Structure 1
Amino acid sequence: MSGKRVVRMAELEIDPSQLDAYRALLAEEIEASAASEPGVLTLYAVSIKDRPERICIFEVYASQEDYEAHLKTPHFLKYKTSSERMVRSLSLIDVDPIILRGKTGDDLAR
């Protein structure tokens, strides 16, 4: 195990006619990942103001192995398969964290 955290951003554009269904699917996937995968440290999803079809997901995994394991989970595979026709574009960006701080346990969207 490398032990080095994996930090990524995903930028997506969603078919506006399927936005509600996509958001529900994404919420289900993030809830399942956070609840069942110890190596999933952070998953935040936001949309661009006035452009709700533009979604950004910020992801932090404990290690490369945890990230790769996440990609093989039933809930991620369901999300990937079910959202395939909803997603118009997807960019995955590996990033180097400068500083990551936050308060845990809070649903900041509520």
Structure 2
Amino acid sequence: MTTSPLTVVAEFRVPAENRDHFLELCTYDSAHSVADESGCQRFEAISPMDDPQTVILVEVYDDEDAFETHLATPHFKVFEVGVKELGVDLVSLRKTARIAPRS
């Protein structure tokens, strides 16, 4: 199975009082990832309509190396620190491979 592109799906549980600040961090990380990383194709934050304390990041990278590069960027470090400071819990992180459509 190919891992190019690599889609990363990260689910977070966010305390209600910190949701707005967490969404600001997501917006910051997303904007810099797409603008500053040639290997980042897409980066979105979504939330279930019936569960605002759950935030899911859907990120598409050229490959595993591009994702590893992302984890070393200054904007990711800001996000990582913010997650800890805001008491946000990482529920799951899944690395997925596209199976359809084939590119």
CA distances 1:42-93 after superposition (whole Å, capped 9, x unpaired)? 1111001121111111111112111111000000011111121331333101
Greater RCO (Cα-Cα under 8 Å, separation 6 or more): 2
Q: Which of the pair is proportionally richer in helix?
A: 2
Q: Distance in 2 between matches of 1:60 and 1:66?
A: 9
Moved over 3 A (4+): none
Q: Which residue of structure 2 lines up, in the alignment, with residue 97 of structure 1?
A: 98
Give the paired residue count: 99
Question: Partner of 1:40 in structure 2?
Answer: 40
TM-score by length of 2: 0.86
Whether the 8 Å CA contact 2:5–2:97 is kept in 1: the answer is no
Distance in 2, Cα, partners of 1:94 & 1:63: 10
TM-score with structure 1 setting the length: 0.81
Structure 2: 5+ residue stretches without partners: none
Cα RMSD (Å): 1.8
